[in-house]
Structure 1
Amino acid sequence: MIDGWIIDPTTYIGWICKLRVFLVFTTRTIAPWLIVLATIDRWLLSSVDAHRRQRSTLKNAQRWTIIIIIFSILLYAQLFYCYEANQIHTPLKCYGKTVACRYITDFSFAVITILCPLFFMILFGLLSVSNVQQSQRRVQSLQLQSIISITNKQAGSVFGNTEQKLKQKTDRSLLRMLLVQVLILSIFTLPLSLDKFYSSFSGDDASSV
């Protein structure tokens, strides 16, 4: 009775195995790329260029969301052919049926699902910080230009020092936020990629013995 309750249907029913793997890999790809999309949108909004800010629209966000979903579906559509239930000499019963399928799946997962999103998150995160710094410099320059009275030089100096401290604090907060975001995603995604590669190579070694 107990054994009957813990049977996993994905291990012996082919279409359930294929559907489950497809949904898992597809959603794991969609999620980080949507975060990349949000990071790019943040970069556009923080830009000093008005034309770039105009590109940050709900319509563009919806369009790119659809593109990401379609791309993820097409990327892992091959899983319906590659994965099969009742596999032997593999880490899981529901697994890739050929070595080529396993390598293609693992490479796609490691590069497209994990490494590329992390790279673009770091890139556009740093560009967003740079945009904020440029905006702060422009605001500070305009404020300094407004100080034209000689009697207000001392007050302007104090104000400038305060602005500089606030700018440094903002930069540190943005960099800290970016670092935490990348670290959390790396901790929860990189081990999955390493585990996939290890499973494939160890599975091949076991089957060749």
Structure 2
Amino acid sequence: MLSASSFSSTTADAILIASWSRMSTNINCYFSIFLFIFGVIGNILNILVLSQRSLRSNPCSWLFLISSLANFIALLSGLTTRIISNWTSDLTDTVAWLCKLRIFTLYSSRTIAAWLIMLASFDRWLLSCRSARRRQLSSIKRAQRGTLIVILFSLFIYSPLFYCYEANLSNAPLRCYSKTILCRIFADQVYTCITIVFPLILMFLFGFMTMSNVRKLKYRLQSPLLPRLSIATCPSDKRQRFRRLDRHLLIMLLVQISFLALFTLPQAIQQIYSTITIDQPRTTVTDTIESSIYAFGILLTYLASGMPFYIYTLSGGCVFRQAFFALIERTKKTIFCQQK
């Protein structure tokens, strides 16, 4: 028979497990719905605004555009099944090929989005350099070429997930997860390093280098967005518009990098911890708490995928907001003409 102290401890553990499970379920249900609406609307608006002629010809805007498309795919592939699972069974937990396809699409699209933002920070650094040769490296063709390389690299690096991931697992944080310890270490650390840590390090590096260059070259006589043209050859209003666009794009980029670090590093830290402690024994309480923290860390990454439009609207100055309002005006005119 159990002693009074053992029975009391078991009861306390059961209450704690039930509380954590209930809290995790509620957060997963309602926060997922909020993130889906918040992120999908934001990324759709981002795609529409950045597709406008006044912005899409800029290399940095092009990278923002494709990054928003990748974030949109990440939200659809990651949150749709998570929301549906609150009311019915999640097919990605039980059907192997859906499990593999979902995680491959999710990880690849997140990697594409992160590395395109890194390329945007690299592009801002090029445009801030004193050397005209470096500034000339910033072009829409090179941005498109870099986008293609990032997409192919992301698809290649995560192709092993089709082998590693399996459905109906019981001894893992999620039912759709890596099936062996080796696969788990590979998937977690590749995701942590390739999708989160490495691009963030490069983003901050190029961001600090860009700010340093801007301070040093504040009064240079060359427009950063027109590296082949002397500023004297540009009309005054056009010159001011280019400078304003360049400045606001840099601010948008730096703010986005900061929020990316805030919302993605918790999952990276948790996955590193899981890898280090993979062989350590765990109690039921520990498993429940760690699974809840893991699930919340994943939700934060969806917040990172859904926030760019709101960051651009708040920190992009009049350039992005004017493009957004122009989109609204054109939409109103189109609707009005159709009604007539």
TM-score range, shorter chain: 0.7 to 0.9
Contact 1:99 1:204 in 2 (8 A): no
Report the TM-score, using the length of structure 1 for normalisation: 0.73
Distance 1:45 1:38 in 2: 11
Q: Which amino acid aligns with 1:89?
A: N
| Structure 2 equivalent of residue 36 of structure 1 | 118
Return the match for 1:117 from 199, 213, 223. 199
| Structure 1 equivalent of residue 152 of structure 2 | 70
| Structure 1 equivalent of residue 174 of structure 2 | 92
How many angstroms does 1:90 deviate by? 1.1
How many angstroms does 1:32 deviate by? 1.0
Q: Residue 136 of structure 1: SS of its match in structure 2? A: coil
| Structure 1 equivalent of residue 91 of structure 2 | 9
Distance 1:76 1:19 in 2: 11
How many angstroms does 1:119 deviate by? 0.8
How many angstroms does 1:180 deviate by? 3.7
> In the TM superposition, what whole-angstrom CA distance separates every residue of 1:81-135 from its partner, at most 9, and x where no partner exists?
0001111211111110110111011111111111111111111111111221222
Q: Residue 93 of structure 1: SS of its match in structure 2? A: coil
> In the TM superposition, what whole-angstrom CA distance separates every residue of 1:37-74 from its partner, at most 9, and x where no partner exists?
11111111122211011110111000110000111111
Report the TM-score, using the length of structure 2 for normalisation: 0.46
1:186 aligns with 2:261: yes
Distance 2:253 2:120 in 1: 13
> In the TM superposition, what whole-angstrom CA distance separates every residue of 1:173-198 from its partner, at most 9, and x where no partner exists?
99987764333111110112123344
Q: Which amino acid aligns with 1:135?
A: L
Distance 1:30-1:107 versus aligned 2 partners, 3 A rule: same
RMSD across aligned positions (CA): 2.9
Q: Which amino acid aligns with 1:97?
A: K
Distance 1:63 1:101 in 2: 32
Distance 1:132-1:10 versus aligned 2 partners, 3 A rule: same
Contact 1:26 1:76 in 2 (8 A): yes
Contact 1:89 1:206 in 2 (8 A): no
Contact 2:104 2:159 in 1 (8 A): yes
Q: Which amino acid aligns with 1:12?
A: T
Q: Which amino acid aligns with 1:195?
A: Q
Q: Residue 55 of structure 1: SS of its match in structure 2? A: coil
Distance 1:66-1:175 versus aligned 2 partners, 3 A rule: closer
Consecutive unaligned residues in structure 2, runs of 5 or more:
1-84, 222-247, 285-340
Contact 1:82 1:101 in 2 (8 A): yes
Contact 1:129 1:174 in 2 (8 A): no
Distance 1:15 1:191 in 2: 29
| Structure 2 equivalent of residue 165 of structure 1 | none
Distance 1:178 1:51 in 2: 23
Distance 1:5-1:185 versus aligned 2 partners, 3 A rule: closer
Q: Which amino acid aligns with 2:152?
A: I
Q: Which amino acid aligns with 1:183?
A: S
Distance 1:176-1:38 versus aligned 2 partners, 3 A rule: closer
Consecutive unaligned residues in structure 1, runs of 5 or more:
140-172
Contact 1:86 1:94 in 2 (8 A): yes
| Structure 2 equivalent of residue 160 of structure 1 | none
Distance 1:130-1:93 versus aligned 2 partners, 3 A rule: same
Distance 1:202-1:130 versus aligned 2 partners, 3 A rule: closer
Distance 1:4 1:178 in 2: 35
Greater Rg over alpha carbons, structure: 1
Contact 2:124 2:250 in 1 (8 A): no
